[in-house]
Structure 1
Amino acid sequence: MHRRNLMKSLLAAPLLGAVSASVSARTGSTVSVTTDYSAPASDAPLLPRRLEPGMTVGLVTPASNAWEDEDIRFAGDVVKSLGFRVKEGANLYQRTQYLAGPDAARAQDFNAMFADPDVDAVFCLRGGYGTPRILPMLDYDNIRRNPKVLLGYSDITALLNAIYRCSGVMTFHGPIAAQNFTDYTLAEYQKVLVHGERPVPLGAPPAFESAPGRVERENRITRFAGGRARGRLIGGNLTLMASLVGTPFEPDYRDKILFLEDVGEPPYRVDRMLTQLWLAGKLQQVAGIVFGKFTEADTDGNTFSIEHVLRERCAGLGVPVVRGLMIGHIDDQTVVPVGAMAELDGDAGTLVLRDRVVA
């Protein structure tokens, strides 16, 4: 779903420290969580179990919902086709305008899935808008005690990075449940979450059969700056990463490899958000930057190109920067583990996962 025009209001974030959030859902239930948002002592992440057939996957909608109930049932069938049982969140079918129900209801479902010993992993039905609103309501202590695979992208970026920062649990930027997996997406998903391969390249362009007069056009790698860097991965959707700046939930950028993507954002908006990260000193702290896909960007009229903006904003950082890996609002998607150690080669245009990411 487009991020454009959906981030008009931001989370009124609490200060660092122990904070209590208590909100009543439409169902009459209450979310009351007292959590220390300070980062775990160690940068090394807690690993969830690798995915195996027969596991139970909790299906949640922490942001927006699908338009129709049948789309939700479709998402459940996608999860079942991967060999899992499905447990639906109690509020999975709720809708409140652009949100999948009241904030407290969405947070309640999310917390319940991590507290439930019968649930082995948590898949997000879709992105959209709304995850920053529930960040103060999440039980990070409970998530820390019960590491599980959390999979999603787009607006789910806020959850992925906040959970890694506040609980130390590794999370996974990858396909949502409400989409069919292409052969490429399935292979990337399996090598990371099912087989736990390492070292393994992430997001390399799909195979393309060249011929005289025909070469790859859609999935090219742009090398903005060469060199090699090692660091733990953080990132996801640029809009969400910008929205986390200055809150207790933003990840530590120091010595990290930052990956970014977006959809429906014209170059001037991408420029504005990257400039925010730069002015906040975040881009100057990273070890390297990986740009995925910036799809459906309106470049009509008198404007810079996306390539120009990305290149200019990263000029002078002195770290490897590449663009074009299979990360973003695209059919062929890789899975990027937030918190995993990886190596970026700016000359080769590759990102290689070095860590074990599932137990």
Structure 2
Amino acid sequence: MSTRRSFLKLASLAPALSLPTLSADSLKPNRLKPGDTIGLFCPAAPAYSREDVQIAIESLQALGFKTRLGAHFYERYGYLAGRDADRAADLNTFFTDPDIKGVVAMHGGWGCARLLPLLDYAAIRRHPKPLIGYSDITALLLGIYAKTSLITFHGPVGSATWNAYTVGWFRRVLMDGEAVTMQNPADKGDNLTQVADRITTLTAGTARGRLLGGNLTVLSHLIGSSYLPDWKNAVLFIEDVGEDVYRMDRMLTQLKLSGILAQISGFVFGKCTKCDPGSGGYGSLTMEDIFADHITPLGKPAFTGAMIGHIKDKFTVPVGLDAEIDAGKGTIRLLESAVR
């Protein structure tokens, strides 16, 4: 998976349980079912490899779906998949076309935020459908939710690895409509203790709120715009890839200074792939230091290591749906189905 830059004190239980059910105001899309047609589009980076596209098509077909490519799918404009208006048109068309039942981004890469002023939010609200993707697609997931209250999905893009783990969560959330409890695999392999995909509890406890978040870099670049939702009592989840630790520090500082971290009820960090200090210079902080500086002092339930990010095995996380996290167990429990 190419990176974006390549293209570019324990919260008390009572207040958490007394939070209103916020998703009553959210708009749920219909669940996906075999025989449905999925629209594949390129909202940012071009489709460089036709083989990757074919693999994505065959993967969706193996789930029982039909597929259709956006009208401008193979266009090019520098590092973008065609002009902004054309990429936005593909997404607008997929939402209004009655034959299209869900929309999956082929891949990320910088460019999604450029589409936000060009989307027909009234039409999207009239024709609610699942929109699925991650990384730079965060701009669309958050922007559309903020403007329409439509629940969107931080999940696999077309070019993702459609393995049993990823497909399992996709199917349970989007097709079966389960109110799942997401929990990391606990396989030790032949090690004496679990090494891979560990959960680290920063502050124990449970918290409830709307799941909001995505890619940290993209989210931080939307601050100050009208394309971010209300963060009051939200459960913030974030991930990133290929970022130096000082950049992660800078972006979390921005979330703090903008007041977002003060408003949330809980925090989940997924994976920051290729974000180790490495040989980045004398005296680099680590991600553990950054969490200790910015997240632990909040005194809110928080954990790291969730299967969210630029990784092969990933959850499908509904953006805007009520959930409860247990930071001691490292779980995310949906409080209701994300689809109708």
Normalized against structure 2, the TM-score is what? 0.91
Q: Match of 1:263, as an amino acid?
A: V
Matches within 5 A, 1:254-269: 254-269=232-247
Query: 2:23 touches 2:322 (CA, 8 Å); kept in 1?
Result: no
1:137 aligns with 2:128: no
In 1: Cα distance, 2:127 partner to 2:117 partner: 18
In 1: Cα distance, 2:110 partner to 2:187 partner: 35
By relative contact order (CA 8 Å, sep 6+), the higher-ranking structure is 2
Q: State the number of aligned residues.
A: 323
Deviations 1:122-179 (CA, angstroms, capped at 9, x unpaired): 0110011100001000000000000001110000000001111101110000001112
Corresponding residue number in structure 2 for 1:62: 43
Corresponding residue number in structure 2 for 1:244: 222
1:214 aligns with 2:192: yes
* Change over 3 Å in CA distance of 1:151–1:207 after alignment to 2: same
* Change over 3 Å in CA distance of 1:159–1:3 after alignment to 2: same
Alignment partner of 1:74 out of 46, 55, 76 = 55
Alignment partner of 1:295 out of 253, 256, 273 = 273
Deviation of the 1:43 alpha carbon: 6.5
Alignment partner of 1:121 out of 102, 118, 122 = 102
Corresponding residue number in structure 2 for 1:181: 162
Q: Match of 2:4, as an amino acid?
A: R
List gaps (5 residues or longer) in structure 2: 9-21
Corresponding residue number in structure 1 for 2:319: 338
Matches within 5 A, 1:143-222: 143-198=124-179, 200-202=180-182, 204-211=183-190, 213-222=191-200
Deviation of the 1:298 alpha carbon: 4.2
Deviation larger for 335-344 or 57-66: 57-66
Q: Match of 1:338, as an amino acid?
A: V
Query: 2:102 touches 2:129 (CA, 8 Å); kept in 1?
Result: yes
In 2: Cα distance, 1:90 partner to 1:192 partner: 28
Deviation of the 1:92 alpha carbon: 0.4
Corresponding residue number in structure 1 for 2:249: 271
**Secondary structure in structure 1 of the residue aligned to 2:229:** coil
Deviations 1:27-84 (CA, angstroms, capped at 9, x unpaired): xxxxxxxxxxxxxx98621111111000011111111123223322332222222111
Deviation of the 1:201 alpha carbon: 1.2
Deviation of the 1:207 alpha carbon: 3.8
Corresponding residue number in structure 2 for 1:350: 331
Q: Match of 1:132, as an amino acid?
A: A
**Secondary structure in structure 2 of the residue aligned to 1:240:** helix
Query: 1:65 touches 1:125 (CA, 8 Å); kept in 2?
Result: no
In 2: Cα distance, 1:245 partner to 1:179 partner: 28
Query: 1:126 touches 1:177 (CA, 8 Å); kept in 2?
Result: yes
Corresponding residue number in structure 2 for 1:35: none
User: What fraction of aligned residue pairs are identical, expressed as a percent?
Assistant: 46
Deviation of the 1:6 alpha carbon: 5.4
Q: Match of 2:85, as an amino acid?
A: A
1:223 aligns with 2:201: yes
**Secondary structure in structure 1 of the residue aligned to 2:184:** coil
CA RMSD of aligned residues (A): 1.6
Deviations 1:272-313 (CA, angstroms, capped at 9, x unpaired): 000001000111000101000001114123311112112211
Structure 1 segments (4+ residues) deviating >3 Å? 4-7
Corresponding residue number in structure 1 for 2:4: 3
* Change over 3 Å in CA distance of 1:209–1:298 after alignment to 2: closer
In 1: Cα distance, 2:178 partner to 2:49 partner: 37
In 2: Cα distance, 1:209 partner to 1:346 partner: 21
Deviation of the 1:227 alpha carbon: 1.6
In 2: Cα distance, 1:176 partner to 1:273 partner: 24
Q: Match of 2:206, as an amino acid?
A: R
* Change over 3 Å in CA distance of 1:118–1:352 after alignment to 2: same
**Secondary structure in structure 2 of the residue aligned to 1:316:** helix
**Secondary structure in structure 1 of the residue aligned to 2:28:** coil
Query: 1:184 touches 1:206 (CA, 8 Å); kept in 2?
Result: no
